Chain A
Amino acid sequence: MGNNYLFAAYALVWIIFMVYAWNISRRQAQLRKDLEELKRSQRST
């Protein structure tokens, strides 16, 4: 029974960290995309 709680605690902590790391990388990707769009729009003007 104790092992279930132990597994749940470790699994949840790593899920929380993974979700946050994914969230940061998604925001970085969005930023890169915005920058590329800005560059493209500048080239076309």
Chain B
Amino acid sequence: MKKFPPTLHLFVTVVWMIVALYMIFLYAPQEATMGEVQRIFYQHVPAGLSAFIAYFVVFLGSVIYLWKRTKFADDLAYAAAEVGFVFCTCVLVTGPLWAKPAWGIWWTWDARLTSTFILWLLFIAYLMLRAHLINPGRAEVLGAVVGIIGFVDVIVDYMAIRWWRTQHPQPVFMGGPGSGLDPRMKLTFLVSWGAFLCLFWYLVRQRMALLVAQRELGWLRRQLALRES
């Protein structure tokens, strides 16, 4: 981690994002039935997959924290939850903006949309728990429990379009027969997803550094107060 300085990480993210935007608007062909609005897909799906990964990191960090009680695992889970919430918000913003011209409605309570909305609420629940419980150790443990139990929703959310008939489009990757993308669209999607993951990881690193610094400052304050008393 230390071998990849944050400034370089930010630079790589920005360049990658610019390349992704170039490919989205100038390289990827226009979709035949939906037209230009289909290009929302290149932000909506990578943001959604990144939100899934974020919750998986929360789950993993929570399990490791409950098992080994390492602060690093807890910081990782907390940071991933906050960044995951941002990505999940992007999914819930871009989805309706695609749905309105494609379906004629902004929203419908089908299995995929509802489970994604629940995922967003889970991120909020986790963050509220961490922000408002001040008992040392209690917020970490309860947060980890939410992080683990909530992972069930990620599985349901991911599988929803495979298990049930939904208004939401069927998967284009690892879907049934007839699914798939034009090679240029596929490459554009992969580059865009890579850029989103690079941004996700950069933000998680920044947030973790902030958590560590806040804890160290708190510790310093307590030491000084003890010395003065």
Contact = CB atoms under 8 A, between A and B. Distances in A.
A37 to B, nearest CB: 10
Contacts, number: 69
Nearest to A28: B210
B40 A5 contact: yes
Contact of B98 (A5, A13, A16): A5
Contact of A31 (B39, B47, B100, B214): B214
Interface SS of A by simple majority: helix
Contacts of A1: 101
A2 B44 contact: no
Interface stretch (B59-67, B86-94, B183-191): B86-94
Contacts of A34: 217
Nearest to B206: A24
Contact of B101 (A2, A16, A24): A2
Contacts of B37: 2-3, 5-6
A5 B101 contact: yes
Interface in B1-34: 34
Interface residues on B, range: 20 to 34
B93 A5 contact: no
B207 interface: yes
Interface string A1-25: 1110110111011001100110010
Contacts of A20: 83, 86, 203
Contacts of B83: 20
Contacts of B36: 2-3, 6
B213 interface: yes
B160 interface: no
Contacts of B40: 5-6, 9-10
27 contacts: A2-B34, A3-B36, A3-B37, A5-B37, A5-B97, A5-B100, A5-B101, A6-B36, A6-B39, A9-B43, A9-B98, A13-B90, A13-B93, A16-B86, A17-B86, A20-B86, A20-B203, A21-B203, A24-B207, A24-B210, A28-B210, A31-B210, A34-B217, A35-B217, A38-B217, A38-B220, A38-B221
Given A2-B35, A5-B100, 4 more contacts: A2-B37, A6-B36, A17-B86, A24-B206
